[in-house]
Amino acid sequence: MSEKKDILIVGIETSCDETAVAVVRNGREIVANVVASQIESHKRFGGVVPEIASRHHVEQITIVLEEAMKKANISFAEIDAIAVTEGPGLVGALLIGVNAAKALSFVHNIPLVSVHHIAGHIYANRLVKELTFPLIALVVSGGHTELVYMKEHGSYEVIGETRDDAAGEAYDKVARQLNLPYPGGPHIDRLAHEGTPSLDLPRAWLEKDSYDFSFSGLKSAVINVLHNATQRGEEIKHEDLAASFQESIIEVLVTKTKKAAEEHKVKQVLLAGGVAANKGLRAALEKEFNSSSIELVIPPLSLCTDNAAMIAAAGTIEFNKGKRAGLDLNGTPGLQLG
Ligand code: KG4
Ligand code: ZN
């Protein structure tokens, strides 16, 4: 009997401010994972500037691609498919990755597979641990806050999502009020650990059975606290404000995730997206699931923020299901999951 051949997939990710290329074996093993971050270029504008992002992707994509292939020490003749982020994201940024992927697919005659960015974030977990179904993924990033139910590989049911700001967006907006640099999430996380959650900030639980989230009220409450203190000539300890804000966000995220996991009788809970790097959130989830029969999986920090290994991992599932994209593939900024 012949041995089953390894599946080698090249992943490409350019949806926001990271130009990334990776090679992944059998959807689980990272062979190479190269990320060129543009954060320094966007910092002085306090957020990602789409036009600048596109320009950086154009400059970086071939360099990052060459470096990844060199690190993997693999030729395109050995590659089974090119997986690329189709959306959601910035249209001009997405197009750079999609066009690079199409060119590689055409020149080397390799199948093309399209991937949803959030599916990629979820599949970052499979680079750490094999997935067992059913499972719930808590996706928390700069653009998304979602609870996703998966009954099998490649099947995504969004059971809850934010009605306004994403968790990361709330972090970044509050950070800006505290004059912290972009992206503010890691700075708030650091400050929060130096303070105590002494301020009473709201938690938006929404309707009783809803798994949806809302963070704009909390963001406004933080702004009000700062504004009122300035008017009264009082000083608010930023560390305490950060700790109180972080406690409010984490309490809602963890409580809704636990409830969803129990109600859906899942075997695993996955954490995904840039905010998954948050130390407080990681610790709170670990504490909550510590004595539970539900297994909690949390990727290392390098796989929480945008990268292409996660795109190759999710792409492997699509490839194995026989799904292929044509050379007419486009970037889709508002692409829906599932
Ligand atoms: O997933 P990601 O890299 O990009 C998107 O797809 O949005 O997430 C970026 C977001 C930013 O809002 C950033 O502030 C947030 O993740 N973030 C954090 C932390 N590290 C990154 N938020 C809270 N605590 C952190 N330690
Ligand atoms: Zn992302």
Residue 8 reports pLDDT greater than 90: yes
Q: What percent of the chain has pLDDT over 90?
A: 90
CATH number at residue 143: 3.30.420.40
| Mean pLDDT of all residues in 302-325 | 97
Cα-to-centroid distance, 269 and ligand 1 (Å): 19
- The residue range of the domain holding 50 is 8-122+304-320
| Mean pLDDT of all residues in 203-217 | 94
Mean pLDDT of all residues in the chain? 95
> Picking from 38-42, 143-147, 320-324, which range would have the lowest pLDDT averaged per residue?
38-42
Q: Which atom of ligand 1 is nearest to the CA of 184?
A: 14
Same domain, 264 and 163: yes
Same domain, 108 and 172: no
The predicted-structure confidence for 160-174, as pLDDT tens digits, reads as follows 999 999 999 999 999
Cβ of 274 below 6 Å from ligand 1: yes
Cα-to-centroid distance, 141 and ligand 1 (Å): 5
Cα-to-centroid distance, 185 and ligand 2 (Å): 14
Cβ of 88 below 6 Å from ligand 1: no
Same domain, 117 and 137: no
Q: Alpha-carbon distance 182 to 73, whole Å?
A: 36
The predicted-structure confidence for 165-198, as pLDDT tens digits, reads as follows 999 999 999 999 999 998 999 999 999 999 999 9
Asked, for residue 236, whether it belongs to a domain, the answer is yes
Helices (H), 125-215: 167-177, 185-192
Q: Which atom of ligand 1 is nearest to the CA of 306?
A: 3
pLDDT of residue 107: 98
Residue 186 one-letter amino acid: P
Output b/e per residue, 150-174; b: 16+ Cβ within 10 A: beebeebebbbbbebbbbbbbbbbb
Same domain, 204 and 221: yes
Asked, for residue 1, whether it belongs to a domain, the answer is no
| CB-based contact 338:310 (threshold 8 Å) | no
pLDDT of residue 45: 82
Going by pLDDT thresholds of 50, 70 and 90, the confidence category of residue 4 is low
Cβ of 87 below 6 Å from ligand 1: no
Same domain, 114 and 149: no
Cβ of 183 below 6 Å from ligand 1: yes
Cβ of 17 below 6 Å from ligand 1: no
Same domain, 109 and 185: no
Q: What percent of the chain has pLDDT over 70?
A: 99
The predicted-structure confidence for 33-60, as pLDDT tens digits, reads as follows 999 988 888 888 878 888 888 998 999 9
Asked, for residue 31, whether it belongs to a domain, the answer is yes
Going by pLDDT thresholds of 50, 70 and 90, the confidence category of residue 2 is low
pLDDT of residue 47: 81
Same domain, 20 and 159: no
The predicted-structure confidence for 213-271, as pLDDT tens digits, reads as follows 999 999 999 999 999 999 999 999 999 999 999 999 999 999 999 999 999 999 999 99
Task: Mark the residues whose beta carbon lies below 5 A from ion ligand 2.
Answer: 141, 306
Other beta carbons within 10 Å of 109: 9
* Mutation probe of ligand 1 site: the residue of 275, 281, 302 with most atoms within 8 A of C-beta: 275
pTM, two decimal places = 0.94
Q: Which atom of ligand 1 is nearest to the CA of 182?
A: 14
The two structure tokens encoding residue 307 = 């990268």
Cα-to-centroid distance, 185 and ligand 1 (Å): 6
Going by pLDDT thresholds of 50, 70 and 90, the confidence category of residue 3 is low
Cβ of 16 below 6 Å from ligand 1: yes
Q: Alpha-carbon distance 27 to 289, whole Å?
A: 26
| CB-based contact 272:301 (threshold 8 Å) | no
* Mutation probe of ligand 1 site: the residue of 15, 121, 171, 249 with most atoms within 8 A of C-beta: 171
Number of domains in the chain: 2
Same domain, 89 and 153: no
pLDDT of residue 43: 82
The two structure tokens encoding residue 170 = 């709330």
Residue 208 reports pLDDT greater than 70: yes
pLDDT of residue 296: 98
pLDDT of residue 38: 82
Same domain, 101 and 136: no
